[in-house]
């Protein structure tokens, strides 16, 4: 039996050459990507049930096929305006504490990137913490900010319970 934690598995997946497949999504009008294997599935948006006394970006819980799943609004966490429409989606990710869903504006595509197209140490200033940033990737005529969803969804503020 494998005794690796979700975080260790996530980091291993990120280093794996097959991880140069990324799920591209938008938050606050900005294009982001996450290693494809860090996202279990994409869900249609459903209204979370609010939970009291939580940080502002933890917006509640949802029921996914009988499992209660916490929901983090990445737009709020990344300091962006929250708008809901028919394209609003949720990314379901597994963590050490169970599944967590991340609200994003919409999911765009899956892209294959070459390792040399990803700058893992870009000289950028960002609204999101550098601990969540895996790099910036060149994709055709655009740049994709690559984020570590595991770290984005599991920070210290959520662990205090």
Domain boundaries along the sequence of the chain: 6-155
- Cα separation, 24 vs 141, whole angstroms: 14
Which residue do the tokens 């050490």 mark?
A: 96
- Cα separation, 56 vs 100, whole angstroms: 16
Residue 76 has phi, psi (to 5 degrees) of: -65, -45
Q: Domain 6-155 has what CATH class?
A: mainly beta
pLDDT digits over 108-139, tens only? Answer: 999 998 888 888 877 766 666 667 788 889 98
Which has the closest alpha carbon to 33: 43, 42, 24?
24
- pLDDT exceeds 60 at position 13: no
When mean pLDDT is compared over 14-18, 52-56, 59-63, the highest value belongs to 59-63
Which residue do the tokens 């765009």 mark?
A: 108
- Cα separation, 106 vs 4, whole angstroms: 31
Which residue do the tokens 């205090």 mark?
A: 160
Classify residue 102 by its DSSP letter. E
What does the pLDDT read at residue 91? 97
Overall average pLDDT of the 103-108 stretch: 96
């Amino acid at each position: 039996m494998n005794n690796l934690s979700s975080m260790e598995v996530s980091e291993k997946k990120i280093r794996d050459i097959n991880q140069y497949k990324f799920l591209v999504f938008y938050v606050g009008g900005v294009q982001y990507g996450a290693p494809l294997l860090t996202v279990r599935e994409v869900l249609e948006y459903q209204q979370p049930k609010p939970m009291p006394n939580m940080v502002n970006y933890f917006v509640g819980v949802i029921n996914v096929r009988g499992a209660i799943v916490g929901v983090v609004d990445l737009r709020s966490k990344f300091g962006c305006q929250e708008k809901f429409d028919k394209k609003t989606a949720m990314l379901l990710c597994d963590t050490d504490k169970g599944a967590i869903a991340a609200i994003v504006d919409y999911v765009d595509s899956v892209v294959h990137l070459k390792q040399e197209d990803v700058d893992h140490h870009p000289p950028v200033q960002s609204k999101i913490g550098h601990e969540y940033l895996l790099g910036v990737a060149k994709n055709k005529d655009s740049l994709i900010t690559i984020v570590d969803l595991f770290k984005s969804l599991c920070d210290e503020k959520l662990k205090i319970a």
